[in-house]
Amino acid sequence: MTTQNYLGAKRERRVLVIDDDPSVATVVTSALSQDEVRIQHAETGANGLQQLVQFRPDVLILDHLLPDGEGLQILGRVNRIDARLPVLFVTARNSSELAIEAMKQGAFDFLSKPLQLEKIQEKTQQALESRRLMLMPVQLPSQVDPMIDGADHLIGQCPEMQEVYKAIGRAAAHDVPVLIEGEIGTGKELVARAIYQHGRRKDRPFVKVVCSDFGPEWLESELFGHEPNSFPGATERRIGKIEQCHGGTVLLEDISAIPQPLQSKLVRFIQDKTFERIGGQEAIQVNTTLLFTSSKNAERLTTEGVIRHDLFYSLNSFMIRIPPLRERGADLTKLVDHFVGQFCRVERIGQTGAVRTSPDALRLLTDYPWPGNVAELRSVLRRALVESRGTVIAGDYLRTALRDLPRNDVGLETKMLSTHVCDWEDFIQDKIDAGSNDLYSDAVMEMERHVLTIILRKTSGNQAKAARMLGITRTSLRKKIHYLGLAIEEFVSTV
């Protein structure tokens, strides 16, 4: 499958299971029953490879013992067909060395038998997200019509964004580490994916690591791996993402969350492409490109001692600064048109091709400072479109979506859209005044928005933790985030 034909936000997600035990496919189907995933099963390696071409799965679950060969042999052939396909390697409990060898050969992760439903769901969802990041196109204005559906778009023609596009082209032409700097919600991940998809490694794996999700030792293990008993909890050898993605790209989100000792190890890797696993003595050499993001000024973080000088100097030659939305002038109207059109055509919110934004609404959008940048704009427009239920996004709906935050409010530059606490008396009165005939549904949606906002903020945007706390599946949580117009990047802990 190519990036170009991975189109459509509604495209069904597919999982192929290659295992001679039919019960494995049954367990996988049960684990993913609420996740809207289509599952297909093959009992031999030969049949599995045939289905790989015909079925075009997003994730492959592969057993290591098959009637016509070993899983490692099949994995090698899978890599030649589609090197970017995330493979979950299934092993028996006593086959840890085999699992490690599979990881060295590029497997995304492994599952131990007997299979556990929660673990299958967790690993498969991670693999599906990795596949989406690799294959969902990130299109630049100069290359395609931004109104084409089925892709993520970098929108805007202001001089600052033109510089961003030029920098993406330069970075994509060279396998060099890049630091992408921009406030929360500016689109740093999109820029990273654009570099990857337009570069020479576009047919190799791309993996994102959110550095703030890990403690110091576990972050180092996540990146570089560890040997058995190298620190508490490290019972078996582990292959890190940098070794696993040999020939590919690893995105490290939030450089300021990387501890100083690990920064030093990263500097060495950038310089000579070698490292040792935690507790190991063997120097391992791999060819993996690193991309970094920062939500604050990297030079200032270096002066404050958060980022090591040698790491900053290693990245300083290739830095991309994404401007905040408030500095992008006329790009705002282009983004509004794009998002409204996308919601109508792809997400079927509103009336396709008929929704426009009133002059009053455009004035509100222009005057608002957008502390959450493009991610907040998208969230506000989706909510306004859901609530307007007509052909015009009017100013009153936008005032509701913007939570009536005044421009001179203290600390507005750091206040996110979702910090508002609902006054139910005013909420109900506003709905009555607006002639609502669906007040109960509106109130439930408002309640869900606040509950999810609180939980997502408490979990720093970690959807797996949030889903467990709420007692719902990650798929249900993602649907609610999407439907309620919440921007997940607003909740991710970044400094």
Q: What is the pLDDT of residue 406?
A: 36
Please say whether the beta carbons of 141 and 155 come within 8 A.
Answer: yes
pLDDT value of position 391:
67
Q: Looking at residues 340-354, what average pLDDT do you find?
A: 64
pLDDT for the residue 492: 60
Q: What is the pLDDT of residues 145-183, one digit of tens each?
A: 544 556 788 999 999 999 999 999 999 998 899 999 999
pLDDT digits (tens, 9 = 90+) for 282-315: 999 999 999 999 999 999 999 999 999 999 999 9
What digits encode the pLDDT tens for the residues 54-80? Answer: 999 999 999 999 999 899 999 999 999
Which range among 231-235, 334-338, 368-372, 486-490 shows the weakest confidence by mean pLDDT? 486-490
Domains and CATH numbers, the chain: 13-123 (3.40.50.2300), 138-321 (3.40.50.300), 326-490 (1.10.8.60)
Strands 178-181 and 59-63: unpaired
Read off the pLDDT band of 43 (50, 70, 90).
very high
DSSP secondary structure string for all residues of 9-35:
TTPPEEEEEE-S-HHHHHHHHHHTTTT
| Exposure class string for 320-354: b at 16+ Cβ within 10 A, else e | bbbbbbeebbebbebbbebbbbbbbeeeebbeeee
Higher pLDDT, 233 or 299: 299
Instruction: Specify the pLDDT at position 446.
Output: 78
pLDDT higher than 50, residue 422: yes
pLDDT at 419 over 70: no
Report the range out of 84-98, 298-312, 362-376 with the highest average pLDDT: 298-312
pLDDT at 241 over 60: yes
Does the pLDDT value for residue 233 go beyond 90? no
- Our measurement of the distance from residue 139's CA atom to the centroid of its chain's CA atoms, rounded to an integer in Å, reads 16
Tens-digit pLDDT profile for residues 189-231? 999 999 999 999 999 999 999 998 888 889 999 999 999 989 8
Nearest residue to 301 via CA among 322, 318, 315, 317 = 315
Q: pLDDT higher for 368 or 143?
A: 368
pLDDT at 328 over 50: yes
Per-residue pLDDT, 330: 87
**Which of 58-62, 365-369, 391-395, 467-471 is predicted most confidently?**
58-62
Q: How far is CA 173 from the centre of its chain?
A: 24
Phi and psi of 9, rounded to 5°?
-65, -25
DSSP characters over 355-412: -EE-HHHHHHHHHS--TTHHHHHHHHHHHHHHHH-SSEE-HHHHHHHTTT--TT-TTG
**422-426, 454-458, 482-486: which is most confident:** 454-458
Of the two residues 60 and 410, the one the predictor is more confident about is 60
101 sits in which H/E element: helix 96-104
6, pLDDT greater than 70:
no
